[in-house]
Amino acid sequence: YGGLSYGNVASQSNSQQSSNPKEAALQGLAKMKALMDMGFQQGVLAPQERPDVAALRRLGFAGSDAQVIQQAAKEAMPLLVASCSASSMWVANAATVSPSADTADGRVHFTAANLNCKYHRSIEHPTTSRVLGAMFADQQHFAHHAALPAVAQFGDEGAANHTRFCRTYGEAGVEFFVFGRSAFDTRFPAPQKYPARQTLEASQAVARLHGLREEGVVYAQQNPSVIDQGVFHNDVIAVGNGEVLFYHEDAFLDTDRMLAELSSKLAKVGGKFQSVCVPRSAVTVDDAVRSYLFNSQLLSRPDGSMLLIVPEECRGNERVWQYLQSLTGSGGVIGEVKVFDLKQSMQNGGGPACLRLRVALNETELAAVNPGVIMTAPLYDSLTQWVERHYRDRMTENDLADPQLLLECRAALDELTQILKLGAVYPFQIN
């Protein structure tokens, strides 16, 4: 673990510990398989080439690929570590997606996140855009936008700060953008310790690109004090789905106004907004950050109630687990909690919500998706076998200096593009 993400408590606290990439991938796939078996449709977003030798070349390292890696290891190990980051596994940061029911042209819109707050993440979006383009290629149904300008004023972290509320997924809804600071308006407060990664201006730009109606958008500011406690994205302190927002008491500024606006705008498109507030007296912000209670998946069940997918760390936190037991026993909208072991993901700084990106599609649009990426039982078996063949079960910082790692990665990705029918999305420079 590189501990690269300043402001992410889990990421930083595990810095320099050895990781198990094979276990990480298998845990994520096992969660996908379990959700598939429950009836939830899922797609697979392919990983990226690491180390990113092209990024190292842009920073002045030269020679063959092996020489670039060895030179970086000798002269600038932190840059090599950053170029090897597996952070693209956080699918919730890949992009912001607006369904066709919300957009002016009636297409599903994708904007890859620039992730420019952290260097190791800022190198992701070119490949992310190509992979999303290969998954959702039909221009009749899908529109793809380049990442926003890679400057601090337009810091964009994707769906980790975006939620959509609706009565049913196929109907018009209300898109909820959460920002940490404003780049140009000093009336908005900002955190003092950790950076606010998402700006208001970035969220507004994405809404414009996607052709969203003003009456179908709500902007809210995350509480700067919780950012300074390690809540680096909104999905660490709140999660929404359907007509429900599940959030911590300290998550937002001007919470009452925000809830009223969400309720009013959702009502205009036939929805009935519901909020579930977790009081600080029951679960502290520190509890939420360490357990990733809110970095959960909130899923709609056929009976209208909600299923909450949480990591094992929630069961290990006495206050959080006690709260969850009282929540599901109260007869409220969240009727069930399922726990998954995602330890490798958690130690890298992300939980269940990080491992998903919501893409709401109607049946026609779903039929237009590249069928190779839709999770099925045979695909699950193929990907599990692929991971067993190609992934290492232990990774330390010293391993990153081995040029063989790049060759292993390229061989794996060559095979994966065949499995997922992606075509040429990896611009390998082999020498």
> Could you give the residue numbers annotated as active site?
157, 233, 354
Task: Dig out the tokens for 428 from the structure.
Answer: 């390998």
Question: Contact, 79 vs 117, CB < 8 A?
Answer: no
Q: Which residues contact 235 (CB under 8 A, 6 or more apart)?
A: 92, 159, 160, 161, 294, 295, 353, 354
Alpha-carbon span 350 to 399, nearest angstrom = 23
Alpha-carbon span 317 to 327, nearest angstrom = 15
DSSP string, 181-205: B-SS-TTS---SSS----BHHHHHH
Task: Dig out the tokens for 212 from the structure.
Answer: 């969203």
Question: Contact, 201 vs 153, CB < 8 A?
Answer: yes
Tell me which residue of 345, 394, 424, 276 sits closest to 31, measured CA to CA.
345
Task: Dig out the tokens for 431 from the structure.
Answer: 């020498």
Task: Dig out the tokens for 233 from the structure.
Answer: 């994205």
Alpha-carbon span 9 to 5, nearest angstrom = 8
Question: Contact, 219 vs 250, CB < 8 A?
Answer: no
